[in-house]
Amino acid sequence: MTGKTCLVTGANSGIGKETAIGLARMGARVLLVCRNQKKGEDARADIERETGSSRLDLLIADMSSFGSVRALAAQVRQRYSRLDVLINNAGAAVPSRTLSADGIEMTVAGNYLGAALLTFLLLDLLKSSAPSRIVNVSSAAPLYPPAAVNSAYGTSKAALNQMTRHLAAELEGTGVTANVMHPGSLKTEMWADMKRRIADAGAGGEGHADWIDMVERTGGDSTDRAIELVLELLGEEGAETNGRFCWPAGIVEEPLPSW
Ligand SMILES: NC(=O)c1ccc[n+]([C@@H]2O[C@H](COP(=O)([O-])OP(=O)(O)OC[C@H]3O[C@@H](n4cnc5c(N)ncnc54)[C@H](OP(=O)(O)O)[C@@H]3O)[C@@H](O)[C@H]2O)c1
């Protein structure tokens, strides 16, 4: 990855931070997009310490705000002559109904609309840097039966999946690929929000409560395997993989029926 420029949203914790570490170790310049300056600076210092890389740039943006995403894209286009990898990883399961600065349900605004807007604003740069890759960190949530407790999160990820699938078709032949990946069930920072949301739903969260119990009992899936999958999509395998829903058990050969 030496000489490559890779942008990771939500890079201060969980999958985003571990992915940034993986990319930095491979020699890439990593643009760490975080919404909180202090958390971003702490993460950059950790990643620098862990990898020895000095090619780590912190960019501040709230992915749930159109204005903030537009400013981020403008900054990237102004400062960087190429973008080889875009990883839309930032995501949340906001525990209660909250509206974004633009008046949109927060989970949908941050998980989907911000990622879609950023992707479209950076598409020319990705195309001019081809071969390049888009990896959207999504979820298997929309594959489960609809439930009030999962409605905003499931909607946001279903939209991200569909957007990626159609974008990939548009990108055929450009040297840019776009895929979504489900990382598994990981006890990252967002786990507490997920648990609270499901506990607060009472009877409405029953099916999901079993899932929470299972992850608590088993400790959840391995973050390492999720990061390996992201890095696989950026390597040789990624060049042949476009418009797919991938998860750590393997790359799904055909789009799943409900995404
Ligand atoms: N953990 C799982 O089991 C699981 C399962 C399926 C899918 N996923 C997906 O995996 C991705 C990463 O999640 P994670 O498990 O690594 O959780 P995490 O540790 O909570 O990391 C989420 C990251 O996204 C950032 N973020 C959230 N909303 C943002 C916004 N509006 N603007 C900018 N940054 C924002 C967070 O920043 P702050 O620190 O400032 O909040 C944090 O850096 C998410 O898209 C999530 O939906 C996770």
The preferred substitution site among 12, 15, 197 for testing ligand 1, maximizing ligand atoms within 8 Å of CB, is 15
CA distance 55 to 48: 9
- What are the two backbone dihedrals, phi and then psi, of residue 53, each rounded to the nearest 5 degrees? -80, 140
Q: Check pLDDT > 70 for residue 255.
A: no
Q: Mean pLDDT, to the nearest integer, of 88-99?
A: 92
Q: How far is the CA of 89 from the centre of ligand 1 (A)?
A: 7
Q: How far is the CA of 163 from the centre of ligand 1 (A)?
A: 19
Are 179 and 168 in contact, with CB atoms under 8 Å apart?
yes
Which atom of ligand 1 lies nearest, measured to the CA of 186? 3
User: How confident is the model over 201-233, as pLDDT tens digits?
Assistant: 877 777 788 888 888 999 999 999 999 999 999
**Does any ligand 1 atom lie closer than 6 A to the CB of residue 186?**
yes
Report the nearest-CA residue for atom 36 of ligand 1.
10
What does the block give as tokens for 158? 């279903």
User: How confident is the model over 12-49, as pLDDT tens digits?
Assistant: 999 999 999 999 999 999 999 999 999 999 999 999 99
pLDDT of residue 204: 73
Q: What is the CATH number of domain 5-186+223-251?
A: 3.40.50.720
Which residues have a Cβ under 8 Å from the Cβ of 254 and sit 6 or more positions away? none
Q: Calculate what percentage of the chain has a pLDDT beyond 70.
A: 96
